[in-house]
Amino acid sequence: MQIKIQYASLLIFIVFTIAFVLGCETAEDNDVTKDTEVELPIADIAFDDYGSSNTAADESFVIEATRIIRINCPVDVEVYDSSNNLVASIKSDEPQDIADSSIISSVNEDGEKLIYLPADADYYLNLTATDNGTMSYSINEYSYRVGGHLRLLNYYDIDIERGDIFTSTVPLLDTDNISDAVLNGSATEYSLFDPYDALIKPSIELIGTEAKEASYMVSVSAEDDYGLVYGQGSRQLGHYAKVNAMPHDGYEFEGWYLANEKISSTAEYRFRVESDVNIIAKFIPNDDFTNNIKNTVEIDKNQYHTNDIVKIQETISNVSTNETVENFHVVTTILDEYQRHIWQDSQPIESLLPGESIYLENTWSIADGSPGSYTVDSTVYQTISSDNSDHESIVFVMEETTFTIVE
């Protein structure tokens, strides 16, 4: 994103962002153990909306800046300018329209409430807790010139009670040091006060390279591909992430797992990002077919050479003790390392009695492939028609194994 501003005959382009990140957990939230970058809706905002002064400093440069306040909990927010005018407000998770104000408020894809403040004026904030819990509050300075965060002040796990009012002061940037701030982070003194006007010290403060590199990856995946997952991407230290899981037909969401430990039972899960994480969604069968049908797939060896033959054996079992499974299909697929389908076979099965197993054998010639890694996928599926509509759904179980071809 680029914004060009003509100031008399001088064009100086300095982009600097200060982001305030506020995250809270209510007493009802899950315990905590965003692919996204900071996006600022300033491309369509005229510079005049920010206001300007006639100081000598303003004649030497123009500041295009925004401070982003991020809120992840039940907190009502009011923002006032230096003249004590209300310029932005979010109540009950809804941005409010403030007459004659150009300050932007919104809610992002991670459910964070956002307020954007220019850097050429003083502001103060009232944060009113609407529930009991804990609060995390972060102040981030982001420079477009550098392309990253240059200063982080993170306040973690502050106890809040319904009705508590916290305040934060957001001074304008020191124009004498703006050039250094754009490259290395500013020395602006930000403040957060508790309901008794006591100054709260940050839990973590990073500046310069350390702050820029404090970005972490949130990786999400679905175990056995029995559902879809959303929310993968990089977040800055102290930001919040929201991940979602959606099961396929025949399954239900069971939980989110981190390092084999269950961290949430809800399909929508939000947490504060403090490190790289790999979160796995697990799904369990919830209908007769996915509960009763089990399959395995095996090959005769794990490494093959040119002109070898891959021998594939699949076992399809009905583990039910009293139900016959009818009218389903077995699809066997070989995929290369780029997930391209190299070979496929499909066989219809009329019925499988309780406790019965069938064995299927296939072969594939290595001459049809090239050196690399391959996956053999065995999928057993059944098409189900709804009694009340023309809608059809597919329920399935699947297993896979891998092999390599070498020269």
Letter string b/e over residues 104-114, b meaning 16 or more CB atoms within 10 A of that residue's CB: bbeebebbbbb
Q: How many CA atoms lie within 13 A of 150 on its CB side?
A: 23
Q: Please report the pLDDT score of residue 31 as a whole number.
A: 38
Share of the chain above pLDDT 90, in %: 62
Higher pLDDT, 115 or 240: 240
Point out the least confidently predicted range of 78-82, 177-181, 304-308.
177-181
Point out the least confidently predicted range of 103-112, 113-122, 247-256, 268-277.
113-122
Length of the chain: 407
User: Which 3 state secondary structure label does DSSP give 120?
Assistant: coil
Distance, CA of 172 to CA of 70 (rounded, Å):
19
Per the CB < 8 A criterion, the answer to whether 292 and 286 are in contact is no
- SS3 sequence of 215-244: EEEEEEEEHHHCEEEECCEEEECCCEEEEE
Higher pLDDT, 184 or 343: 343
Place of tokens 């003509």: 6
User: Which 3 state secondary structure label does DSSP give 58?
Assistant: helix
Amino acid at 231: G
Report the candidate in 36, 113, 115 with the shortest Cα–Cα distance to residue 73.
113
pLDDT at 91 over 90: yes
Q: In sequence order, which residues have a C-beta less than 8 Å from that of residue 9 and are 6 or more positions away? A: none
| Average predicted confidence (pLDDT) for the chain | 83
- The terminus-to-terminus CA distance of the chain in angstroms comes to 48
Q: Please report the pLDDT score of residue 65 as a whole number.
A: 58
- Where residue 175 falls (left for φ over 0; alpha for ψ -120 to 50; beta otherwise) is alpha
Other C-beta atoms lying within 10 Å of the C-beta of residue 126: 16
Distance, CA of 276 to CA of 211 (rounded, Å):
15
* Winning range, highest mean pLDDT, from 18-32, 34-48, 67-81, 302-316: 302-316
pLDDT at 174 over 80: no
Higher pLDDT, 31 or 365: 365
Higher pLDDT, 278 or 388: 278
Q: Please report the pLDDT score of residue 19 as a whole number.
A: 53
Tokens representing residue 155 in the block: 């306040």
Report the candidate in 130, 193, 183, 146 with the shortest Cα–Cα distance to residue 38.
146
The whole-number average pLDDT for the span 350-356 is 96
- SS3 sequence of 244-301: EEEECCCEEEEEEEECCEEEECCCEEEEECCCCEEEEEEEEECCHHHHHEEEEEEECC
Q: Are strands 392-406 and 277-285 parallel, antiparallel or unpaired?
A: unpaired
DSSP 293-323: EEEEEEES-SEEETT-EEEEEEEEEE--SS-
Exposed/middle/buried for 203, CB within 10 Å: 0-12, 13-18, 19+?
Answer: middle
Place of tokens 């701030």: 181
The whole-number average pLDDT for the span 82-102 is 94
Q: Please report the pLDDT score of residue 57 as a whole number.
A: 32
Distance, CA of 28 to CA of 67 (rounded, Å):
30
User: Which 3 state secondary structure label does DSSP give 212?
Assistant: helix
The rounded Cα 81 to chain-centroid distance in angstroms is 33
pLDDT at 310 over 50: yes
Q: In sequence order, which residues have a C-beta less than 8 Å from that of residue 314 and are 6 or more positions away? A: 295, 296, 297, 298, 330, 332, 359, 360, 361, 362, 378
Q: Please report the pLDDT score of residue 387 as a whole number.
A: 59
